[in-house]
Amino acid sequence: MTNINDYDYYLPPELIAQAPLPRRDASRLLVLGRQTGAIAHKHFRDLTQYLKPGDCLVLNDTKVLPARLFGQKQGGDAEIEVVLLKQLNLTDWEVLVRPGRRARVGTRLSFGEGELEAEVIDNTDAGGRVLRFPFEGQFLEILDKLGQMPLPPYIVEKLADKNRYQTVYARDLGSAAAPTAGLHFTENLLQTLSEQGVQIAYLTLHVGLGTFRPVQVEIVEEHRMHSEFYSISEEAAELINQTRLAGGRIIAVGTTSARTLETVGQADGSVRAGSGWTDIFIYPGYKFKVLDGLITNFHLPKSTLVMLVSALAGRERVLAAYEAAIKDRYRFYSFGDAMLII
């Protein structure tokens, strides 16, 4: 049995990055030796020094919905915040509502001075609601106009540019949060890596807000992950498999890409194309089938993401790297700096 407190650490609040840097690839990069624990301090653009011709970089091309809406109860002025989590059908969405007590079944909501309306039609087992949007026209266009990015709760500053919470390669709309390890890439850096002989494969995992929910149990093995939709094409699977056969390394960009690869990974290290839902929980003791390395941000204490990283490089090495990053004043969390485990 593993105790959740084994993955705790103290982070000075001022190290929580509240806004992205002006230039994406100017972020710092802590390089951690997966087997040795050796640490090097670099910048993200120095990634070109660590990836070799024949390696394959795997990126999550999900695109974040501007899923946070602010509105009122119809017939009153009570303010209500709604975050869209999952589309259930053409008109119905699973959502989070704050304050929930104002959103009982039958309540009607209005957003943007009546441009968008909704009715609460059900409660969810997780404490959320199901909203029905009886609208005419293009819902996503209205959402793009009225919605804000669903930034994590530890970011209190307003985001000036919505696109800075999207990767430059975001294509498939459907996430409630960004795959933040990918925010450091620029088109030029991806082009440089490609010219260097690094293969680039894309998959999709739509990130749910459950990624921000704290682990509520004391014993790690008792935790149950939220389920998220993934897809990986035949073309991407073939590229990854050919890389493996040729002796190249598979480097996941972000824990979302890592979880998808391990979901579709086979015992021989190959991956299989397909789509579905995954609730894979990776923590120390897990034997990786596909991954050789990982690019990731610095994660919250006692989170499943810290556990995943610890499964790859070892808990002691990861916590030592976090301690080094804190000492060297790295920026943490979604808009913070990055780590390469290789």
Q: What is the pLDDT of residues 11-64, one digit of tens each?
A: 999 999 999 999 999 999 999 999 999 999 999 999 999 999 999 999 999 999
Please tell me which residue, 185 or 221, carries the higher pLDDT value. Answer: 185
Q: What is the CATH number of the domain that holds 283?
A: 3.40.1780.10
CB half-sphere exposure, 48, CA atoms < 13 A: 15
In angstroms, what is the C-alpha Rg of the chain? Answer: 20
| Same domain? 199 vs 289 | yes
- Looking up tokens 């119809």 gives 74
Going by C-alpha positions, the residue among 274, 271, 233 that lies closest to residue 61 is: 233
Cα-based distances in Å from 56 to 193, 199, 291: 10, 4, 10
What's the domain range around 312? 4-64+161-341
Domain total in the chain: 2
- pLDDT at site 138: 80
Distance CA 236, CA 282 (A): 23
Q: Do 207 and 62 touch, CB atoms closer than 8 A?
A: yes
| Same domain? 73 vs 208 | no
| Same domain? 33 vs 73 | no
Q: What is the CATH number of the domain that holds 106?
A: 2.40.10.240
Domain end, chosen from 146, 180, 213, is at 146
| Same domain? 33 vs 137 | no
| Same domain? 114 vs 172 | no
Choice among 83-87, 191-195, 241-245 with the minimum mean pLDDT: 83-87
Domain end, chosen from 116, 146, 176, is at 146
- pLDDT at site 137: 67
Sheet holding 274-278, edge to edge: 39-43, 28-32, 338-341, 293-297, 250-253, 56-60, 199-205, 228-232, 274-278
- pLDDT at site 271: 98
108, two tokens: 């009607």
- pLDDT at site 69: 93
Whole-number percent of the chain with pLDDT over 90:
73
Strand 68-73 versus strand 79-87 pairing type: antiparallel
Residue 98 binned pLDDT confidence (cut-offs 50, 70, 90) = confident
| Same domain? 214 vs 300 | yes
| Same domain? 32 vs 140 | no
Domain membership flag for residue 316: yes
- Looking up tokens 């034997």 gives 287
Distance CA 276, CA 263 (A): 10
Q: Do 43 and 29 touch, CB atoms closer than 8 A?
A: yes
| Same domain? 172 vs 237 | yes
Q: Is 288 exposed, middle or buried (0-12, 13-18, 19+ CB in 10 A)?
A: middle
Q: Is 154 exposed, middle or buried (0-12, 13-18, 19+ CB in 10 A)?
A: middle
Domain membership flag for residue 135: yes
339 secondary structure, DSSP code: E
- pLDDT at site 114: 83
Please tell me which residue, 297 or 144, carries the higher pLDDT value. Answer: 297
- pLDDT at site 136: 65
Domain end, chosen from 117, 146, 175, is at 146
| Same domain? 261 vs 184 | yes
Domain membership flag for residue 267: yes
Q: What is the pLDDT of residues 219-278, one digit of tens each?
A: 988 888 888 999 999 999 999 999 999 999 999 999 999 999 999 999 999 999 999 999
Distance CA 137, CA 131 (A): 17
Mean pLDDT computed over 96-101: 86
| Same domain? 197 vs 257 | yes
- pLDDT at site 103: 85
Domain membership flag for residue 207: yes
| Same domain? 216 vs 304 | yes
Domain membership flag for residue 151: no
Domain membership flag for residue 88: yes
| Same domain? 123 vs 246 | no
Domain membership flag for residue 89: yes
Domain membership flag for residue 117: yes
- pLDDT at site 209: 67
